[in-house]
Amino acid sequence: MAKDLFSPSAAEDLYPDENVIYLITICTSEPMPSESRQIKFYIKPKDEKAKYVSITSLADFFQHLQLLLYQVCQEVEEREYKKTGRYPKAVIEHCDLVLKEITIASAGGAVELGDSQMGLPIPGGFEKTYGEQAIALTNDIFTVVREKDHIFPDLSPYVPDENRRKRVLSEVDKMWPEENSKYICEIATGSKHLKPMHPSRKPKIKQALETEIAPQDKIVYGRLIVVNYTKKHTCQIETSEGRYDCKYSPELVDLIKSNGNELVSITGKLTESKTILIKSESDLGRINKIPLDEIVIEETPKALKTSIDLSINFDKEDDTYTVENGDLNVFAISDDLKAAVESLKEQIGTIWVTFVKENPTNLTDSAITFRQFLIDLIGEEL
């Protein structure tokens, strides 16, 4: 007699006997929908006589969509905004897009995250990966651009940093059709439903991009170098983020001279990318320590809840930096400050993995205390 597979007795037959020698696990949660990993698009010529979409237009659309997602991913990963330089390797890995499907003539199709990594299982599904979080946030950004009258301030809950917000909007602007565009464009970010990119919204986007951003306060730590007293009162400071240009008023020349080639902190207004304005003597001071705000765990930068102090020394004879932390017993020596600090980020990350991923039952009491200290640094065990 055939048994009803959905009856209670059939369900009981699925359970192993008490003395079974196998471990059996059943996952009843639904797999994460593919839409959360995809961005769909549709581009069609307005002119019914035009059969095809320009490959140049399509290439531009893809390029700026990818750059937009890289910027949003950095927001998701809580990375500091940088106007120049390459995107971090982890951001590219998490948010690189690949072509999933495409149709010719009217260009419709989808791109998808190339990263095959899935989030950890949670009740009702899976955690979103960084890439999936970036696509979800991109959808929020498009919703604001599509619906709000005051785009720039209304985007602040999603992209708080004004400089990154402007960069994100710039990429959106390059994707968005002009008012006289010959194409109809629609997009779906992490959703099944395509939504129009109305050309009538273009003036609002342009208006948002005209928003003036006030200079931000910035503190940098490093060595004051390339002091040129005759060239428009400028100097440079070599930091763990690279070199910054500094501008100062004529009455501060003696201050700059007396601190040339010394380790200093500079507080000032960031007037443009990597340019700081020094206004008074109190903006500059000697240092022997610099704060470390992130470490690198398995090639992924992780922000620290509380910064770590690194002792720093510069040998003027050898032109080398020695950077160390005695509590963690790590140090690095290099002729480049950025390289030395990056080395310590990786060393501390290796220590973090060694202790935090070890079973606490295998550790001594002092090692367990140290393990908890490392967990508290970033606020999670990963």
| Residue 126, amino acid | F
Distance CA 298, CA 210 (A): 40
Token code pair at residue 320: 């080398």
Distance CA 170, CA 162 (A): 12
Query: What value, to the nearest 5°, has the Cα angle with vertex 119 and ends 115 and 120?
Result: 145
Distance CA 226, CA 277 (A): 16
User: Do residues 132 and 36 make contact, with C-beta atoms less than 8 angstroms apart?
Assistant: yes
| Cα atoms in the 13 Å half-sphere on the side-chain side of 365 | 0
Q: Could you tell me the pTM of the whole model?
A: 0.62
| Residue 99, amino acid | L
Q: What class, spelled out in words, does domain 216-286 have in CATH?
A: mainly beta
> What is the model's pLDDT at position 31?
40
> What is the model's pLDDT at position 152?
96
> What is the model's pLDDT at position 6?
39
Token code pair at residue 222: 């490093």
Rg of the chain's alpha carbons, rounded to an integer? 27
Spell out the domain ranges in the chain.
35-209, 216-286, 294-309+327-378
DSSP 254-323: HHHHHTTTSEEEEEEEEEETTEEEE-SGGGEEE-SEEEEEEEEETTEEEEEEEEEEEEEEEETTTTEEEE
> What is the model's pLDDT at position 10?
44
| Residue 369, amino acid | T
> What is the model's pLDDT at position 28?
38
Distance CA 112, CA 378 (A): 30
Distance CA 229, CA 260 (A): 11
> What letter would DSSP give residue 327?
T
Residues of the chain with pLDDT under 70: 1-33, 104-106, 119-126, 226-231, 382
User: Do residues 106 and 36 make contact, with C-beta atoms less than 8 angstroms apart?
Assistant: no
Closest listed residue to residue 213, CA positions, set 162, 161, 289:
162
Distance CA 293, CA 19 (A): 53
26: exposed, middle or buried (C-beta count within 10 Å: 0-12, 13-18, 19+)? exposed
